[in-house]
Amino acid sequence: MSLIQHLIDGQLVSESGRTADVYNPSTGQVIHQVPLASRETIQRAIDSAKAAFPAWRNTPAARRAQVMYRFKQLLEQNEARISQLISEEHGKTLEDAAGELKRGIENVEYACSAPEILKGEYSRNVGPNIDAWSDFQPLGVVAGITPFNFPAMVPLWMYPLAIVCGNCFILKPSERDPSSTLLIAQLLQEAGLPKGVLSVVHGDKGAVDALIEAPEVKALSFVGSTPIAEYIYAEATKRGKRVQALGGAKNHAVLMPDADLDNAVSALMGAAYGSCGERCMAISVAVCVGDQVADALIAKLVPQVKALKIGAGTSCGLDMGPLVTGQARDKVSGYIEDGVAAGAELVVDGRGLSVAGHEQGFFLGGSLFDRVTPQMRIYKEEIFGPVLCVVRVNSLEAAMQLINDHEYGNGTCIFTRDGEAARLFCDEIEVGMVGVNVPLPVPVAYHSFGGWKRSLFGDLHAYGPDGVRFYTRRKAITQRWPQRASHEASQFAFPSL
């Protein structure tokens, strides 16, 4: 059994002390151990980043971008290797892992445009012989804390952009599936990133608290559950740090009576059950406008949910692999039990699934509930598993009210052929990311990702233009070179044109 290491100051670093087990979810076996960083190790990474910052911030943006170009090539060349590591430790299928990596590479491509996205603004002659301009300067040492469900993509939301903006970055990935994250960071070093600009430290809450409390860390990015997002936001902002903390979700899909039901069902299957539902953008609630729509939807979903191809994630041609841990599987099973006890109709029960040859794996089949009500726990809370709940309403207005009343506002979508209904939905829904006949409206890299309400703590969304703003601070400069022959008297009134 191998011990995964930290990456600090360009070197792999071992640490004696506390460790955590890393499982292969398909077999239920421990395959690695990962160190849980001490405060001394975290400080070592911070010191390395602080030392690297002066030279890196003064490196021309075009040269920083060249590192990202080489990094992109290395990611593409190592796609199969990275996907294999993701599948082995997370459990998602190889195809899903490759798709995750591709979406992460989009953000590296955006970071390659650093000379363009970091251009300031210039105004000549704002006053007599006075010019004014602004530029975007890096913050210094910044950090990111990323979740288990996207060990490649979410870190790539953060540090490529932070780094091309001139910052030095400390990454604390999930301790559940750290190998692919570490490999990707090593590829960035292979691309020519100077030592100290990126460090990877593994750990748990102790590592998170050390990053929060360190005065050298100027900003924190986080993706994970809402309770932890709220904790990080509260603790870091009171210490004067800039924070973007993305939390949980309960994403609804509204099906109108005029929807293309066959296409909607295909979209829902992937959005609800892809990656075992372990996505913050997963559709977990289908809101049907009218009983006729609901009955037709259930009739089409049931055979497809029962026919899901489930097995070891590293096998080919699958729809789903296992959940990430046995604890996660048991938690989702508990939600299913709770839904039955609350009176929801369990149309398909995914519990008790056993995969031949992988009987100890953390498997759970797809589950489908009908006649779920807003009072039920399975409606209110993020299940983070392969469970889809069907809610019945009488109108689009009722569907929208249902969504707007929910505490989360991450993503949503509507299936319809009616442009007027779609426009109303897009305008009035209180959710940060909206799809029209698109079930997973994850923005492309040159837009920004983020929800509303208790799905996001902070003012700026992740990656894209908001990411540039988050990892930089604007400096406005006003400059005057008076003519030598002129001499002006002192002015005591507030200056104006």
In the chain, where are the structural domains located? 2-247+455-477, 251-436
- Considering the candidates 280, 288, 389, 413, report the single residue annotated as catalytic: 280
| Res 485: pLDDT | 63
Task: Output the CA angle 391-324-279, nearest 5 degrees.
Answer: 40
Q: What is the rounded CA–CA span in Å between residue 19 and residue 32?
A: 10
In whole angstroms, give the CA distance from residue 411 to residue 251. 5
379 with 218: CB under 8 angstroms? Answer: no
Q: Which is the CATH superfamily of the domain at 2-247+455-477?
A: Aldehyde Dehydrogenase; Chain A, domain 1 (3.40.605.10)
Please count the CA atoms within 13 angstroms of the CA of 222 that sit on its side-chain side.
32
pLDDT of residue 15: 86
- pLDDT per 10-residue tile (average), the chain, 497 residues: 93 92 96 96 98 98 97 98 97 96 97 94 89 94 98 98 98 97 98 98 97 98 97 98 97 98 97 96 97 98 98 92 97 98 98 94 97 98 98 98 97 97 98 97 94 96 96 94 72 73
Distances (CA, A) of 408 to 247, 432, 462: 9, 10, 17
Query: Does domain 251-436 correspond to CATH entry 3.30.450.40?
Result: no
User: Is 276 assigned a catalytic role?
Assistant: no
For the beta sheet containing 217-223, the strands, ordered from the edge strand earlier in sequence to the opposite edge, are: 11-13, 6-8, 198-200, 168-172, 141-145, 217-223, 242-246, 456-457
pLDDT, residue 486, reads 64
Half-sphere exposure of 489 (CA within 13 A, CB side): 3
Residues 6 or more apart in contact with residue 166 via CB below 8 angstroms? 56, 57, 59, 61, 64, 137, 138, 472
Contact 369, 345 (CB under 8 A): yes
